[in-house]
Amino acid sequence: MTATTAEPEVVVVAPTAYWTRSRKAGVIYLVLGLIAIVFWGILSKHGEAARFASGTESSGSSVPIPSKVGAIVAGAVVMACGAALLTERLGRRFALWSGIALAALVIAFLSWQVSGNTMPLGSSANLTVQAALPLILGALAGVLCERSGVINVAIEGQFLTGAFLGAFFGTVAMSAWFGLVAAIIGGGLVASLLAVLAIRYQVEQVVLGVVINLLMLGLTSFLYQQVMQPDAASFNAVPAFATWKIPVLWRIPIIGPALFDQNVIVYITIVLVVAVHVGLFHTRWGLRTRSVGEHPTAADTVGIRVLAVRYRNVIVAGMIAGVGGAFFTVGSHLDFSKNMTVGKGFIALAALIFGRWSPIGATLAALLFGFTDQLQSYLSLTGSSVPSQFLAMLPYAVTILAVAGLVGRVRAPAADGKPYVKG
């Protein structure tokens, strides 16, 4: 009788890639920090202090930061965060270290560029919110759609429709509220077209979104030329919303006036961000929405009506984007003009990706774009040494870098863009 011995089981372990997201970001921050120290600090010709005022005026009390010292110290902080991410032992909290590094990089850049001037932080915060608001609403619309499994590239078309109808009906009814309601309905109608073609007829969703954008651009431009332009006083004299101050909160330095001394669309946006976040991650509706976007077949087997969930969420998303469109006209007290949204719907999509399909993350990404947008406007007025062409590119360059480099590898919902056919 011979004994048999079982061969030992061989376990193959896949090699771990050395250049992880943390290490790549660490190298980037090391390079950026070194640039800040050398070029914005040591070699800088700006010797005067940069001043920062907490209010909305440059003439008020301000805090001075020595230009070279501020750039060198902030650059050193950026390099320290990069080193922490590069080691990975200290850099496991990627978001924390990246946030500190980005904030320090902004301080270094401002210490260099604001030298000899005073930057009113209250005005900057207000302008940041104004620039980011439609992006936040567009990104929320994208979150609802893509978490449900439908790609919404048509945000730009929903913006244009909302802006046009808000201006037209707001002027005709002489009521900003009426214009807001019309914009919401218009965004919902465009989203209904997207939903029917994408869900019922299974049209390729990215191409469909581009076609809807072109359709709405052409339609609103035609109606503007034929109806609004000949008689602007009757059809394009946009009324304004009243400004509401929230007691006590509006007095908070810097962020108080920016968030709590605004019109109703700002407050609607704040409520929507909270509601969508809580709804997606803490309610039964959110669980069903995410299951439909990740694995619709499994959701169907437990009784979830996949197509109904998608229809409902896409239309609600369009209504939210309609609010964003209304902000361009009745929300900002501006008359409608052709293509006035200038691609903001696509930037909202970038914010959605940067924010990893999360309402809070997308909001922070939109605020980042809004900050860079207002920053290039401020620096161009103060006679910045940076060429104006580069300043104009700054918001878009930051968006591209954020999406392509700093976010790392992201994963959309598994069923995003995939039509569901019930077996």
Give 83-114 pLDDT, tens digit per residue: 988 887 665 677 788 888 988 998 999 888 88
Same domain, yes or no, for 166 and 242?
Answer: yes
End-of-domain residue from the set 116, 151, 168: 116
Same domain, yes or no, for 141 and 189?
Answer: yes
Beta strand 118-120 with 50-53 is parallel
Same domain, yes or no, for 33 and 169?
Answer: no
Same domain, yes or no, for 263 and 281?
Answer: yes
Report how far residue 250's alpha carbon sits from residue 266's, in angstroms, rounded to the nearest whole number. 13
Q: Domain range holding 71?
A: 21-116
End-of-domain residue from the set 101, 116, 131: 116
Same domain, yes or no, for 271 and 362?
Answer: yes
Q: Is residue 62 a part of any domain in this protein?
A: yes
Q: Is residue 11 a part of any domain in this protein?
A: no
Q: Is residue 314 a part of any domain in this protein?
A: yes
Q: What is the pLDDT of residue 310?
A: 96
CATH code of residue 225: 1.10.3470
Q: What is the pLDDT of residue 2?
A: 52
Q: What is the pLDDT of residue 34?
A: 95
Same domain, yes or no, for 316 and 275?
Answer: yes
Q: Is residue 5 a part of any domain in this protein?
A: no
Same domain, yes or no, for 198 and 74?
Answer: no
| Residue ranges, the chain, pLDDT below 70 | 1-17, 57-60, 89-92, 388, 395, 398-399, 401-410, 423
Q: Is residue 379 a part of any domain in this protein?
A: yes
Q: Is residue 1 a part of any domain in this protein?
A: no
Same domain, yes or no, for 294 and 238?
Answer: yes
Neighbours of 110 (CB within 10 A): 23
Q: What is the pLDDT of residues 227-255, one digit of tens each?
A: 999 999 999 999 989 899 999 888 888 88
Q: Is residue 415 a part of any domain in this protein?
A: no
Same domain, yes or no, for 56 and 170?
Answer: no
Same domain, yes or no, for 383 and 304?
Answer: yes
pTM of the predicted model over 0.85: yes
As for how many domains the chain has, the answer is 2
Residues 54, 57, 59, 60, CA torsion sign: negative
Same domain, yes or no, for 298 and 397?
Answer: yes
Same domain, yes or no, for 61 and 161?
Answer: no
Cα–Cα distance list, 117 to 48, 93, 281 (Å) = 9, 36, 45
